[in-house]
Chains A and B, each alone.
Chain A
Amino acid sequence: MAAAEPKGHGQHSGMWIYPDAKVISQDVSEKSKDMAKPFRTALVVTGILFILAIVGFIARAADDGFDEIGPWGYYTALFSMLFMVTSGAPLAACAFRFTKSHWRRPLSRVAELFSIVSILNLLMFIPMMIVLPSLENPAGSVEGQMELRRSIWFEGPIGAPHAWNLAGVAFLTITSIAILWTSAIADMGEARHSATGLKGWLYRKLAGGWYGTKRQWNVQKAGLALLGAFYFMIVVFMHFTISSDYAQSLIPGWKDSIFPVLYTVTAFQASLGAILVTLFILRRWGGYEGYIGKSTFWSASKVLLGLTLLWVYHLFAFFITFWYGRLEVEQNIIKYLIVDTYSVIFLLNLAFSFVLPFAVLVWNPVRRSDWGPSLAGLLALIGGLMFNIRIFVGSANAAPGENIYHFLLHKVPAPAYPDIWDLFIVVGGLGAAVFIYLVSTRILPILSIWEVKEGTFYQKWGKLHRGEYQILGKPE
């Protein structure tokens, strides 16, 4: 075991752990090689789901082609769900590094590894470009129709929307992988002498020149700060363009400045949820209880609670503007996305994104446990999926054909229920994401070894006054 007994007293009993820095590298390396039965089973199950997703995709393409976006609504919802998690998760690593939070140390690599899943996102985006209706009305100037759909791209500058969207999604993937590489280079550099086979080759190629000199540590620190800042700036921008192009612009007359913010908050909430669920699995069944203390869950739970409250605030702000506006199109959009057509999905969305996580996280003892924040995270993930189905399936099917060039949504459309291929795509796609994540944990250590070691310099359990407390060093 790489850690002493968890420390803490009173209501914080067992909250903090202090890993032994000397054995972390070897211990984590051995854990990364471990292919225990539950892991192999998870790999097989998610691998089968991955295949189902591919079958569903091919069947969808064979049945409906790529001419209309309507049949691809569930595919778009799945893309958006994965996009939310994979784009938001690396930001958690960056943000908590910015704030120099010690509790984030075991969380960083868990969050950064989602960047490998974002490669799937990038591939999934290609068909989405094909099915997105043209900004320009193919019929030209027709009475009662717009010549150019309203979108964030205004007159549609060179390459808009596809080239700029693709570049944005690609650069999110590239930047998040660059963050992962910059962070993992120290761990790969350490392990390149002992790793064998493909892993050894990869480590030598990716971290061949790493020796842990002062200059390298300084550049790594500055690089992570810069990439993190740029990542934040581009992730919010891409949330804006994706939610605008694949949701708002597809419902004629939907003009809303709050929706992109709601989208971003949902993304941050769902991605933190995914990180917490992963941490819980690692702590309970992955053998990492000596590295992932309850303090990580406790601290993250407060952020998750804040995001949950922000989510409902933005939802209400979105709703009240349209409800009070009372224009026909605003009423139709409310009926379509909230109170009528997709009302059941909306209620599930509300329950899983706000009511249930709030009911869990509001209790102090639950926030101090490892299961409480993880449960809230799981609920937020389900809520995120409901949000994406409601918004993206709804948007893709709101105005089929030439109706998309109308000025307003004149009537409330009917719901689009999933068929068997949609189920294959959604369930299989989620499985595919888990599969890729599981594989990535065998390539890179799931614990940021250098960060956990660094944490041991600055945290110790010691005497202060008449009690024993966690004593923190603050070098900067």
Chain B
Amino acid sequence: MAKKPILGLFETADNAADAGDALKSAGVAPTDFDFLTDAPYPEGAFGEREENHRLYIFPFVGALIGLTVGIMLTSMTQMAYPLVQGGKPILSMPPMAVVTYESTMLTAIVFTIIGIIFESRLPAFKEGLYDTRITEGYIGVLVNVDEEQLTSTQTLLTQAGAIDVVRKDGGSGA
């Protein structure tokens, strides 16, 4: 069954953390609720689950590709046109290093940007549930539950101290 979002708004981090505890106690899976904030809170401020990402793999892969391309481009060029310059070997490292360094950096940067977009799940083509009061410092607890659990989740959020509860269908009220 498709899950529906419901958003509880809390004035303090403690209340939001209480809501998180209550949701866990009610059997809501940790992956089914999230905390929406207007600034990054310190790790574990809401007792939330650990969020892992794989962003660091992206630049690593990009750098490897760039390094390979750089080495191939410079070495194959020098082997294809074997001109001795200043008595130096055909395959000499200093001139290869300049181009290889730049190509490594450039691809690492491109892959990092791709990684940020992918790992942040951006762009989102469908607008999710949000409330502009979060920009004023309120903390949103976004829960995805089965439709028949919406009312009980709303009650749970309210009991935890939500000043308002917003639903996708426009329903609102603490």
Does B150 sit within 8 A of A, measured CB to CB? Answer: no
Closest to A215 in B: B51
Q: List 15 A-B contacts (CB under 8 A).
A: A21-B39, A153-B95, A154-B85, A157-B98, A178-B112, A190-B132, A190-B135, A193-B130, A209-B120, A212-B36, A212-B37, A215-B121, A223-B112, A223-B116, A454-B39
Pair A216/B85 contact, Cβ less than 8 Å: no
- B residues neighboring A (CB under 8 Å): 34-43, 48-49, 51, 53, 55-56, 59, 73-74, 77-78, 83, 85, 92, 94-96, 98-99, 101-102, 105-106, 108-109, 112-113, 115-116, 119-125, 127-128, 130, 132, 134-137, 140, 142
Given known contacts A22-B136, A158-B77, A164-B99, is B105 in contact with A234 (CB within 8 Å)? Answer: yes
Pair A214/B122 contact, Cβ less than 8 Å: no
Pair B36/A211 contact, Cβ less than 8 Å: yes
Pair A213/B34 contact, Cβ less than 8 Å: yes
What is the distance, in angstroms, from B7's C-beta to the closest C-beta of chain A? Answer: 10
Pair A218/B51 contact, Cβ less than 8 Å: yes
What is the distance, in angstroms, from A442's C-beta to the closest C-beta of chain B? Answer: 20
Given known contacts A154-B95, A222-B55, A230-B59, is B38 in contact with A214 (CB within 8 Å)? Answer: no
Pair A211/B142 contact, Cβ less than 8 Å: yes
For A22, the chain B residues whose CB sits under 8 A away are 136-137
Of the listed stretches A168-176, A292-300, A382-390, name the one at the interface; the rest are far from the partner chain: A168-176
Closest to A177 in B: B113
What is the distance, in angstroms, from A149's C-beta to the closest C-beta of chain B? Answer: 12
Pair A212/B134 contact, Cβ less than 8 Å: yes
Pair B109/A190 contact, Cβ less than 8 Å: no
Pair B56/A226 contact, Cβ less than 8 Å: yes
Most buried by B among A158, A171, A223, A449: A223
Q: Is the interface of A mostly helix, strand, loop or mixed?
A: helix
Give bound CA distance, A59 to B99, whole Å. Answer: 36
A23, A25, A160, A190: the one contacting B99 at CB < 8 Å is A160
Most buried by A among B42, B56, B105, B134: B105
How many residues does chain A have at the interface if contact means C-beta atoms less than 8 Å apart? 61
Does A182 sit within 8 A of B, measured CB to CB? Answer: yes
Chain A residues 122 to 178 lying within 8 A of chain B, measured CB to CB, are 148, 152-155, 157-158, 160, 164, 167-168, 171, 174-175, 178
Give bound CA distance, A245 to B35, whole Å. Answer: 51
Q: Using a Cβ cutoff of 8 Å, how many contacts connect chains A and B? A: 172
Pair A158/B73 contact, Cβ less than 8 Å: yes
A212, A223, A451, A473: the one contacting B115 at CB < 8 Å is A223
Pair A222/B56 contact, Cβ less than 8 Å: yes
Pair A155/B109 contact, Cβ less than 8 Å: no
Give bound CA distance, A290 to B123, whole Å. Answer: 34
Give bound CA distance, A168 to B105, whole Å. Answer: 9
What is the distance, in angstroms, from A170's C-beta to the closest C-beta of chain B? Answer: 9
Chain A residues 16 to 59 lying within 8 A of chain B, measured CB to CB, are 21-23, 25-26
Pair A164/B102 contact, Cβ less than 8 Å: yes
What is the distance, in angstroms, from B23's C-beta to the closest C-beta of chain A? Answer: 15
Chain A residues 223 to 273 lying within 8 A of chain B, measured CB to CB, are 223, 226-227, 230, 233-234, 237, 241
For B40, the chain A residues whose CB sits under 8 A away are 217, 220-221, 450, 454
Pair B43/A226 contact, Cβ less than 8 Å: no
Pair B37/A215 contact, Cβ less than 8 Å: no
For B128, the chain A residues whose CB sits under 8 A away are 209, 211
Pair B113/A219 contact, Cβ less than 8 Å: no
Does A476 sit within 8 A of B, measured CB to CB? Answer: yes
Does A8 sit within 8 A of B, measured CB to CB? Answer: no
Pair A230/B109 contact, Cβ less than 8 Å: yes
Pair B122/A208 contact, Cβ less than 8 Å: yes
Give bound CA distance, A23 to B133, whole Å. Answer: 11
Pair A157/B53 contact, Cβ less than 8 Å: no
Pair B77/A237 contact, Cβ less than 8 Å: no
Give bound CA distance, A473 to B42, whole Å. Answer: 10
Does A210 sit within 8 A of B, measured CB to CB? Answer: yes
**Shortest 7 CB-CB distances between A and B: which pairs?**
A209-B124, A154-B95, A475-B42, A453-B39, A223-B116, A217-B40, A454-B39
Pair A171/B105 contact, Cβ less than 8 Å: yes
Pair B101/A237 contact, Cβ less than 8 Å: yes
A213, A219, A475: the one contacting B35 at CB < 8 Å is A213
**Contacts beyond the supplied A193-B130, A234-B102, A453-B39: 16 A-B pairs with Cβ under 8 Å:** A22-B137, A152-B98, A154-B98, A157-B95, A158-B77, A182-B116, A211-B142, A212-B36, A214-B49, A215-B34, A218-B53, A220-B116, A230-B105, A234-B106, A454-B39, A454-B40
Give bound CA distance, A175 to B55, whole Å. Answer: 16
Give bound CA distance, A13 to B115, whole Å. Answer: 45
What is the distance, in angstroms, from B39's C-beta to the closest C-beta of chain A? Answer: 4
Does A11 sit within 8 A of B, measured CB to CB? Answer: no
Pair A220/B38 contact, Cβ less than 8 Å: no
Pair B132/A194 contact, Cβ less than 8 Å: yes
Chain A residues 173 to 193 lying within 8 A of chain B, measured CB to CB, are 174-175, 178, 182, 185-186, 190-191, 193
